[in-house]
Amino acid sequence: MADGFAPAFAFTPEVDAATASVWSKVKTRISPLEWRAHAPLIEAINRLKREKNAVVLAHNYMTPEIFHGVGDYVGDSLGLAREAARSDARVIVQAGVHFMAETSKVLAPDKTVLIPDLRAGCSLASSITGADVRLIKQRYPGVPVVTYVNTTAEVKAETDICCTSANAVQVVEAAAAAWGTDRVILIPDEFLARNVARQTDVKIIAWRGRCEVHERFTAEDILELKAAYPEAQVLAHPECPTEVIAVSDFTGSTAAMSDFVATRRPKQVVLITECSMADNVAGDAPETEFVRPCNLCPHMKRITLQNIYDCLLNDRYEVRVDPAMAERARLAVQRMIDLPPPARPARYDLVKARHHVDVELI
């Protein structure tokens, strides 16, 4: 190396000291070799955030070096939306997928919202358009439209109230009561709609959208796991098929799964969801053993430390939403946020639920 030349991202003793607390959380998930590449980027990102008055909102499906290393707020879709609304930073970097960045922009129109890779999409968000929702409303006049946050701002703008997997039952019941109806339209996740329908007396009209990560789990997978690991608690996300939920021990949003592990401290657990979830929860639960069948979300995995750094350095890629559309979408998201927060993230107790309730599929 030439005299005086210092590589931009060297693993120096200063970097080592500045990132030691992160290393202690990720060292069972990341090799020392990888860590020497990650740590300087973590230190550089955290420095850039301070210089630019920026925060990183990181979803539970981010890789552990992002989640534990640079996330100022980490959580599920509901938690990230709440945080976007209350953050006083000038810049929000969304370490998640595009619909989450749009939700942040809708809730914080005066802030600069950046996403490190514009291609980070979602199979649920791309399953439905604003025009589809307008047609649905024509077909079911007077029936409130509850939309999962995993949708574009264009779809949210056609919506009465949003929900996430952490509050879908609560929102469906609140919408039915407010509109004085016994049925609601819950779009676009077919499986979430089926799982909610089994928890409420409200009749559900559903769309055929699927999460490409969760739809691939089967009841046979779960039964095989239970046979191989009889002591393990099986926790499944409500975007999974209903047959999967029926044979799991617990179902809830990503925040509800974290909460389950943090409060019940199971000896052995299986998280039926995206792969990074177990890596991240494991960082705070060293005494729990994680059995690891999981599916990767290719959209979430587009976000890396390197593109978070590039995004902050170059102020790219900015997410914009047409102001008139944002105004209408904000009403739907704000109605959800204004509902009293549940004491604990919701769970879907489908093992005890009524199995014969079904949805009307559009």
Binding site for ligand SF4 (CB under 6 A): 97, 122-124, 150, 211-213, 239, 274, 297, 299-300
Q: Is the dihedral of CA 64, 50, 16, 34 positive or negative?
A: positive
The one of ligand 13P, ligand SF4, none whose footprint includes residue 249, by CB under 5 to 8 A per kind, is none
Least distance from ligand 13P to the Cβ atom of residue 34, Å: 25
Q: Supply 229's token pair.
A: 């690991």
E-state strands within the chain: 54-59, 73-75, 91-95, 112-114, 145-148, 161-163, 183-187, 203-206, 233-236, 250-251, 268-272, 289-291, 360-361
Cα separation of 248 and 269, whole Å?
Answer: 11
Instruction: Give least dist CB 46 to ligand 13P, A.
Output: 24
Structure tokens that stand for 33 in this block: 């070799």
Kindly state the smallest distance separating residue 77's Cβ from ligand 13P, in Å.
Answer: 3
Binding mask 133-172 for ligand 13P (x = CB under 6 A): -----------------x-------------xxx------
Q: Which amino acid is at 100?
A: M
Nearest-approach distance from CB 54 to ligand 13P, in angstroms:
22
Q: Which does 152 bind (CB under 5 to 8 A by kind): ligand SF4, ligand 13P, none?
A: none
Dig out the tokens for 191 from the structure: 């499986």
Residue 199 or 254 with smaller CB distance to ligand SF4 = 254
Distances (CA, A) of 104 to 141, 188, 220: 30, 20, 38
Please list every residue from 54 through 93 that binds ligand 13P, using CB under 6 A.
60, 76-78
- Answer yes or no: are the C-beta atoms of 149 and 329 closer than 8 Å: no
212 interface partner picked from ligand SF4, ligand 13P, none, CB below 5 to 8 A per type: ligand SF4
Q: Compute the least distance from the CB of residue 319 to ligand 13P, in Å.
A: 16
Of 132, 117, 219, 177, the closest CA to residue 339 belongs to 177
For ligand 13P, the closer CB: 41 or 62: 62
**216-255 positions binding ligand 13P, by CB under 6 A:** 239, 253-254
d(CA 326, CA 156): 9
Residue 277 Cβ vs ligand 13P, minimum distance, rounded to whole Å? 9
**Residue (of 31, 210, 44) closest to 126 by Cα position:** 210
Q: Site size for ligand 13P, by CB under 6 A?
A: 12
CB of 274 to ligand SF4, least distance (A): 5
Measured distance CA(131)–CA(134) in Å, rounded: 5
| Interface of this chain with ligand 13P, residues 252 to 291, rule: CB under 6 A | 253-254
Indicate which of ligand 13P, ligand SF4, none lies near residue 123 (CB less than 5 to 8 Å, by partner kind).
Answer: ligand SF4
Q: Which residues form the interface with ligand 13P (CB under 6 A)?
A: 60, 76-78, 150, 164-166, 211, 239, 253-254
